Structure 1
């Protein structure tokens, strides 16, 4: 029997509320499947892109954030193209922009 787990929509909601409470900002760029959509976090700090991260399962049954997509130095066009490819192959994925100090760590603490 599978253990109960939080839905993607619940995890995103927690991330948005927790970011606001910590003085940051989170915005849902693409809304995915409410139950089990893949979550991508676009990490930003003070308006500067610091990477794109995907919530992936790890070997102990939990989750972790894994860097994905182009390097931020490649620019916004490369990121847009990557996201367009991902959305074509998985229309159920979520994309959230998280603008807060240490966004990757913050997201990992919240949704993993």
Structure 2
């Protein structure tokens, strides 16, 4: 058994913590409850700034790696999500609109 938290727990924690911090979080896609991949759409004041995916780094530690389109705007991110979900229906996608969303997510997931 892995010591990693199930994906639904991570997604829920991100949403609850964003709301508690005065930000906004929304579940864009629900995937496989325990082991689905997790993608974060990071926004600041309504503008998409990054797309990150929870992954395992070369040293075996969990990281948020760059994912999605090169220049993430709303349209390109939407198209990328649709394509990715066709290939991986178990994928979870969480959108966070909060200051420094990537750092916030890393702290919430426990990557720091």
Q: Does the pair score TM above 0.5?
A: yes
- Gaps of at least 5 residues in structure 1 are none
Distance 1:50 1:84 in 2: 19
Report the aligned-residue RMSD: 1.3
Q: Deviations over 1:20-47 (max 9, x none)?
A: 1111111101011110111010001111
Q: Note if 1:80 corresponds to 2:78.
A: yes
* Deviation per residue, 1:31-88 (Å, 9 max, x gap): 111101110100011111101110011133321111111112xx32222221111001
Question: Aligned residue pairs: how many?
Answer: 109
Residue matched to 2:49: 50
Bigger drift between 79-88 and 32-41 goes to 79-88
2:33 aligns to what SS in structure 1?
coil
Which runs of no fewer than 5 residues in structure 2 stay unpaired?
A: none
Report the TM-score, using the length of structure 1 for normalisation.
0.90
Matches within 5 A, 1:4-83: 4-70=3-69, 71-72=71-72, 75-83=73-81
Give the 4+ runs in structure 1 shifted more than 3 A.
none
Give the aligned partner of residue 91 of structure 1: 89
Q: Secondary structure at the match of 1:14?
A: helix
Superposed CA offset, 1:87-107 (max 9, x none): 011000001110000001111
